Amino acid sequence: MTTPYEFRKANQMDVESIWRILQQAIERRRLDGSEQWQDGYPNPEVVEKDISKDHGYLLLDGDKVVAYAAIMVNNEPAYDTIIGKWLTTGSDFLVLHRVAVENNYLGQGIAKLIFNKAEKMACHKGIHSIRVDTNFDNQPMLHLMNKLGYTYCGEVFLRSGSRKAFEKVLSSQK
C-alpha cells in the first residue's frame, strides 16, 4: 500500500487526539457486543503512560491523527504464562497493544498499515517476532490476525480475563 501516511512516536500534545480515537474504538466494541475495553480501560492515564515510556505510536494523514498503537519490546508480563505455546522462545519480540483507528478511516487498511510499520520496526531492531492478544469476541482484530498471517498460540490472562494470543515470525527481509 503506497501511502502519504506518517508513522511516528506520540507525544503529550497528542493525548487528546489519541483518547478521541480510543473512545471511538471502545464504542465500536460495545456496539459489536464485545466485552473488550468495556471496563474503564484503556483510559487517558494509560495513554499518558504509553507516551512517557516511549510506547505510543501514531499514524497521521497530514496533521490528522488517524490511528494509535502502543508498541513495545518484550514488555508484556502476561505473555510469560500462556495456555498453549508461543512459536518462538528465548528471543526478543515486539508487542502491539491498544490498536485503534479513527472512525472515518475504517475499512481503508489502516490497521494493516500499522502492523506493517511495526513489522518493519521489529526487523530494523533485529527482532523477528510480534505477539498480540485480543478478546475472544473482537471479530475485526481476529479477522486481521488471520489476514496478516498471525498464528493462534493459545490463551493469556490479562486484567479482564482470558485473551487469544497470536504470534507472527518475521523474515529479515521486511
Quick: pLDDT tens for 117-154.
Answer: 999 999 999 999 999 999 999 999 999 999 999 999 99
* CATH class of the domain defined by 6-169: alpha beta
Mean pLDDT of 108-114: 96
Smallest CA-to-CA distance from 96 within 36, 34, 152, 141 is with 141
pTM: 0.93
Q: Collapse the DSSP code of 129 into the 3-class scheme (helix H, G, I; strand E, B; otherwise coil) and give the result.
A: strand
Q: How far apart are CA 23 and CA 48, in angstroms?
A: 15
Q: Please report the pLDDT score of residue 161 as a whole number.
A: 85
Sequence-distant (6+) residues with CB within 8 A of 139 are: 32, 34
pLDDT at 157 over 50: yes
155 by Cβ neighbours in 10 Å (0-12 / 13-18 / 19+) ranks as middle
For cell 533485529, name the residue.
Answer: 126
Percent residues over pLDDT 90 in the chain: 91
Q: Please report the pLDDT score of residue 171 as a whole number.
A: 84
User: pLDDT-derived band of residue 172, with 50, 70 and 90 as boundaries?
Assistant: low
Query: pLDDT: is 150 or 158 the higher one?
Result: 150
Are 143 and 137 spatial neighbours (Cβ–Cβ below 8 Å)? Answer: no
Mean pLDDT of 7-21: 97
Angle at which helices 15-31 and 44-52 cross, to 10°: 130
pLDDT at 1 over 60: no
pLDDT at 166 over 60: yes
Q: Please report the pLDDT score of residue 159 as a whole number.
A: 78
pLDDT at 3 over 70: no
pLDDT at 95 over 50: yes
Query: pLDDT: is 168 or 160 the higher one?
Result: 168
The per-residue pLDDT of the chain, averaged, comes to 94
